[in-house]
Structure 1
Amino acid sequence: MMKRTIEIREEGVPEAFAVVRKSWEEGGVRFLSWSFRAERETVFPPVRIHITVPARGIHYRWTPKLHLIKALNSDWFENLYETSGFTGAPVECLIAQDNRNCAVIALSDTLHTIGMKSIPVEETAQYDVEIALFDREAYRGMEYSVTVRVDTRPLPYYKALADTAKWWETIPGNEPAVVPEAAREIMYSTWYSYHQNVDEKTLFAQAELAKELGCSSLLLDDGWQTEDTGRGYAYCGDWKPAPSKFPDMAGFVKRMHDIGMGVIPWYSVPFIGERSENFQRFKDMLIDPDAEREWHVLDPRYPEVREFLIGIYEKALLDWDLDGFKLDFVDEFVVTPFSGREEDDRRDCTSFTEAADRLMKDCMARLKSHKADIMLEFRQTYNGPRMRSFGNIFRAVDC
């Protein structure tokens, strides 16, 4: 079996920065670390780290956001894979034709926005993995450290990825949330049968049938909070039960509990629609104000935004005695060109990803202070190591 040697190259490291580089090996896996330090607080300039491995035997490429097509890209295609704590995970996997691992390259920084790009270099018969730091989102501070894990062991690629996931679990901030037993039971989702056409009478009848089939909870999806059934999210932001559908949400939840069924309603966390009552309050606290649609993404760098969102879930939990939340579209908390366009004294965070992380941490703490075994469902693409510290149910895309 060919032993894969790796090469490392850096671009853009400022001469004024103190840089400490380390390299070591554990169990056949190579680790490379960089620690950058500036003399004073500053905005770090873009830095690129290149890790090159022999291209021999590589037939496929995989990332957590690749979806269906694992084909290799040429260098003239769009190859950028962008990851943060709220979408994907900082890892690229290069795979042999027989599903053996050729190289899994993963980063310890699972929070900040990082660009990764893996392309073949035809002239040298190598594969170049580029890691872009401090590029898409500005990083302000005095120091920054990152470790890169390079696994070229000829294991089944899924085993190499599983070992990567176990490594992430050892990094502070990535500790997986406790999973209550109810989260492991079969659940009935209203979306696939009813979409937005839901009401308490119909769903209670379905819940009785679902209970007989072994379901233990109802995932009450989109539609409970609006009279509109035209799809889209223009009415998101108020989160009040639609009177014609759920005139007594607390009563509905109690009836469900009486037959042994939990209730987990859907919320589109970052969205606020232009047709909601709350839109005027937050219309200048958005990261995508120029979006050509009737809904936008709230900016978590504002403490008012974070408290607004946390308060909505906390009130619903207490008023209706819910069993959990399906928190959707968290992967919309990503950096946009508008995110860093201007300063605003009302913000208490400069980093967008750090603010979103603070929102999720504070939200989970508040909800679990009321109900320790609360269920929280996430889905792709926000299913990376950082999100596992918050959610305890993960759904693999829409079925």
Structure 2
Amino acid sequence: METPEVGIELVHIRLSTEQPAAPPVIRLAWEQPITDIHGVWHPNGCRNRGMVPDWGAGYASKLTVSSPVVCLFSGAGRNRMTFAFSDTLNPVVCHAGVHEETAVFHCSVTLFEEPVAPLTSYEATLRVDCRDLAYYDSLNHVQMWWSGLPGLTPSPVPRLP
């Protein structure tokens, strides 16, 4: 784990094997108290910012659909926790669901639920941002972080003729 600045945690995962193999399902899970959280934003949410129960489905993403990022925000539009995953190409399921009995969000990022080609190594990073800033600024920091990762440099916008 790494803390590049106060309020941001980076959790690095690395898998390696001598022979190519299908990776197992991996789930990174944690809890976040429901303190001053009034809504949930994710790329496929459209206009729905409501909270879902912890037993509900997560938010799937892969190269062609969505992005692995979820933002929990306050009624005043302040970030309470934004988490994002560095692997934006492969299938990833992010989840942030309310566990009513304990008043916490059960959060997770699940990898390799869908079959992938055998591999010998895999590296990725979970970024968790709990800084008190506007939620849209937290999301902007995620896109800047992604833009700086190898293989994720944004494509240039073509000029109009």
- TM-score using structure 2 length: 0.92
**Inter-partner Cα distance in structure 2 for 1:172 and 1:55:** 34
CA contact (8 A) 1:93 1:105 kept: yes
> Structure 1: which 5+ runs fail to align?
1-22, 183-261, 263-399
CA contact (8 A) 2:16 2:120 kept: yes
Structure-2 residue corresponding to 1:193: none
- Give the strand-richer structure, 1 or 2: 2
Tell me by how many angstroms 1:139 deviates. 4.4
Structure-2 residue corresponding to 1:58: 37
CA contact (8 A) 1:114 1:134 kept: yes
Instruction: Give the superposed CA RMSD.
Output: 1.4
- TM-score using structure 1 length: 0.39
**Inter-partner Cα distance in structure 2 for 1:123 and 1:88:** 31
Tell me by how many angstroms 1:181 deviates. 4.3
Structure-2 residue corresponding to 1:268: none
CA contact (8 A) 1:90 1:110 kept: yes
**Inter-partner Cα distance in structure 1 for 2:39 and 2:68:** 18
Tell me by how many angstroms 1:171 deviates. 0.7
Structure-1 residue corresponding to 2:113: 135
Render the CA deviation track for 1:1-20: whole Å, top value 9, x for unaligned: xxxxxxxxxxxxxxxxxxxx
CA contact (8 A) 1:32 1:148 kept: yes
Tell me by how many angstroms 1:94 deviates. 0.6
CA contact (8 A) 1:39 1:142 kept: yes
Structure-2 residue corresponding to 1:115: 93
Tell me by how many angstroms 1:93 deviates. 0.7
Alignment match of 2:11 (pick from 26, 32, 35): 32
Aligned to 1:25, the other structure's residue is in SS state: strand
- Residue 102 of structure 1 pairs with residue 50 of structure 2: no
Aligned to 2:76, the other structure's residue is in SS state: coil
Tell me by how many angstroms 1:123 deviates. 3.0
- Residue 41 of structure 1 pairs with residue 30 of structure 2: no
With over 3 angstroms needed to count, the CA separation of the structure-2 counterparts of 1:41 and 1:181, relative to structure 1, is closer
Q: Which has the higher contact order (CA 8 A, sep 6+)?
A: 2
CA contact (8 A) 2:54 2:106 kept: no
**Inter-partner Cα distance in structure 1 for 2:99 and 2:18:** 37
**Inter-partner Cα distance in structure 1 for 2:117 and 2:71:** 26
- Residue 159 of structure 1 pairs with residue 137 of structure 2: yes
CA contact (8 A) 1:113 1:137 kept: no
Structure-2 residue corresponding to 1:67: 46
Tell me by how many angstroms 1:174 deviates. 1.1
How many residues in Structure 1 have an aligned counterpart in Structure 2? Answer: 160
Whichever residue aligns with residue 91 of structure 1, its letter is V
- Residue 125 of structure 1 pairs with residue 112 of structure 2: no
> Structure 2: which 5+ runs fail to align?
none
Whichever residue aligns with residue 150 of structure 1, its letter is V
Identity of aligned residues (%): 28
Structure-2 residue corresponding to 1:245: none
- Give the helix-richer structure, 1 or 2: 1
Alignment of 1:352-363 (within 5 A): none
Render the CA deviation track for 1:347-367: whole Å, top value 9, x for unaligned: xxxxxxxxxxxxxxxxxxxxx
CA contact (8 A) 1:48 1:133 kept: yes
- Residue 80 of structure 1 pairs with residue 28 of structure 2: no
Structure-2 residue corresponding to 1:250: none
